[in-house]
Structure 1
């Protein structure tokens, strides 16, 4: 645990530092926000403990603009509710009153250290994959984790890290699809001050930040071929060259990559380097889709029902047998993410203590017909000439027009959340963005993040 304490903490700096050290944290002090930024750029951090008198929002906004995701807790003398509320609104995850309480500090550090990504599995299909993961976790071999979007590839990567000899070191995840192509090189390998417009200070990349630990390259299939060549050299030489730098920096990492695409096909298409695939795919862990893991559906439903009842300060919710049957029968194209959102919604909408089949609904409150029926229209045999109206209405329309409606409707379903929509559609977030840009240039009204569904008139 790398902890940076920002500010004086109302004169309680020494006490808070000692408590953190006693709990195994490596502590660095930054007297102000600018020093904290410099330290994070050069050394990285797992947690920020920020004096409530500092500009918490400004610091976290600057980190976000540089694609640095570091959780923060705010600290202030006494239990000032106004300061606590302001700190949470500014982006802090917790507010810790000072003088520091050893048990409270320890609990916060433990909560940050223990992964939020709980690994829950009960199904035999998943157990076989976990058994293989446990066998190779202690090795230094690179691992390729494959599977549909939302199946839990990052959770599996964290499991491998926690079972490895590097478990006490950093686990750094980079989503290759979420970072603009022109910034990904700097994000991975770092840059020197003045290397390009906007490079106001030296910043280490994710490879250096993960030194000694594990680096996860999520959705690696979305990486540009030219950058793949530089990645291959880093893997071979175990050293990185910062953008604008004059010398190589040695690194010691375990590399894990994930993809939801067939990389053999990508190699044939010329969008992925075969030599890089050989380097990364020493061990392959293929995660089955959720629909093939009925016992995992059962366990995850119970887990999410408990979690979101607690999260929303609601009484415990029980998933009834009837509700469980329809949940298990659903195909779950969005896999675990879709299931999680569905149960969260059910927890909020059910009036009693039991989640019934009727509580499984879409975001706009309509019954989810495919779940309610336990099967899709495509699974049912219908006499010729009696196709559903929706299918008949597609005749005469172009594929591009139907695709556009499907994408826009899915985006509305996800309240404008691009990542969730891309997962359900089975395409990369970059592909989704490109299509949405085309639609917007044609004057199509594209839902923005958080856009509520339009009511039926």
Structure 2
């Protein structure tokens, strides 16, 4: 997480900085609110601002918002003056940290405000296959299109890929293309020069430059208008961008990830998405199955969220009752992981017994989950089968696992040897030798499905 500290580095604030760095934050520092806004406008990104409460926090937040810079603020101050702390919260600060600081408090506030605590919780075999493929392609610079229904965890996968990549020490920048008005998205992505349009009072560095050296996630890219798609295509092809109102292109070195909950192939047919851009983005596709197709993940995720929200609300950790687990596994979860998380958060707040009972797990309309019926018993069988399948990996030889991974990747690439070798990180010759070995052993090998570069072996 990137932390920008605003204020004079006296002894107490300097101690807080050291504690934040020990908690994993990458820290930079400026002394004034004007310098903070200038640094953010100039592309020095931050996920959180820690600001001395003697400074004008309201003015800082308003100046940032005028530049469409939205970064949460926590206030800090010596002596913990209650009036000034309350004024900082009223001005827009999310939290207050008294100085001298406590290491546990610093770590807790950083985690709570930045919401970085999103580990990968995977038990179901179909999701494990997705993670295997993500592990294979993470080290490359190939663009990846992550698809799936709303709420399945596409951004979590994107962050996982970044963390596994060679760029993990560099920025991970996410842009929600659906949340930014069309007339502002170009400036948000590519930046602008002073005077480029009404309100452009100074140069603003865009997300492409902010992500330089790292990874840029274009979330819900299907919502981008056609004109901007053309500019994005050029940026990906040429590895350079043009600021709005700029006189010359700017070179960038980034890896592009994109997500969509829509069928982009259909969007191409409908004329709302460029086919050439789809090909550029979809070098590798990671399809995240909906939660109803990953029954082995449901209870594991529920247990994770139960612990998370017990800690967040200062309550004891309580196990989920057996009946509650049965109902969780049987429900179809149309809102996917996001809906499950909200349901468990409610259950933590509503449950009063030693366990999280089934009556405390409620749907968004307040109704409890339906009891297991004949249809949901089938889901229970599927859940148990998924759990068994995940345990089946234990005891297999490395050679058997390698064979399965190679054949699964080849199937994913529709038999294309060149693409499969690239994803697997091996030479085409090595791949062909492996496939010849499998064929001679009587193992069925996916045949190329035609097309340029299918490289039949």
TM interval, shorter chain, is 0.7 to 0.9
Task: Report the CA distance shift for 1:57/1:218 in structure 2 as closer, same or farther (over 3 A).
Answer: same
Task: Report what 2:42 is aligned to.
Answer: 42
RMSD: 2.8
Task: Report what 2:124 is aligned to.
Answer: 123
8 Å CA contact 2:347, 2:361 repeated in 1: yes
Task: Report the CA distance shift for 1:304/1:106 in structure 2 as closer, same or farther (over 3 A).
Answer: closer
Task: Report what 2:366 is aligned to.
Answer: 365
Deviations 1:237-282 (A, max 9, x none): 1111111111111111011000011111111111010100111100
Task: Report the CA distance shift for 1:167/1:194 in structure 2 as closer, same or farther (over 3 A).
Answer: same
Please give the secondary structure, in 1, of the residue aligned with 2:42: helix
Task: Report the CA distance shift for 1:182/1:207 in structure 2 as closer, same or farther (over 3 A).
Answer: same
Distance in structure 2 (CA, Å) of the matches to 1:316 and 1:180: 42
Distance in structure 2 (CA, Å) of the matches to 1:273 and 1:58: 42
Please give the secondary structure, in 2, of the residue aligned with 1:203: coil
Task: Report what 1:174 is aligned to.
Answer: 175
Task: Report what 2:385 is aligned to.
Answer: none
Please give the secondary structure, in 2, of the residue aligned with 1:199: coil
8 Å CA contact 1:9, 1:50 repeated in 2: no
Deviations 1:181-237 (A, max 9, x none): 111001000111221122222110000010010000000011001100000000011
Kindly indicate whether residue 341 of structure 2 is the aligned counterpart of residue 340 of structure 1: yes
- The 5 A counterparts of 1:54-453 are 54-64=55-65, 66-99=67-100, 115-363=116-364, 365-368=366-369, 371-372=370-371
8 Å CA contact 1:187, 1:205 repeated in 2: yes
**TM-score, scaled to structure 1:** 0.75
Task: Give the C-alpha shift of residue 295 in structure 1.
Answer: 1.6
8 Å CA contact 1:76, 1:98 repeated in 2: yes
Please give the secondary structure, in 2, of the residue aligned with 1:348: helix
Unmatched 5+ residue regions in structure 1?
Answer: 380-457
8 Å CA contact 1:330, 1:374 repeated in 2: no
8 Å CA contact 1:10, 1:51 repeated in 2: no
8 Å CA contact 1:176, 1:223 repeated in 2: yes
Distance in structure 2 (CA, Å) of the matches to 1:360 and 1:4: 39
8 Å CA contact 1:329, 1:375 repeated in 2: no
Distance in structure 2 (CA, Å) of the matches to 1:14 and 1:372: 55
Count of aligned positions: 376
8 Å CA contact 2:13, 2:99 repeated in 1: no
Task: Report the CA distance shift for 1:332/1:142 in structure 2 as closer, same or farther (over 3 A).
Answer: same
**TM-score, scaled to structure 2:** 0.75
Deviations 1:150-171 (A, max 9, x none): 0000000000000001101100
Unmatched 5+ residue regions in structure 2?
Answer: 379-457
Task: Report the CA distance shift for 1:355/1:104 in structure 2 as closer, same or farther (over 3 A).
Answer: closer
Task: Report what 2:393 is aligned to.
Answer: none
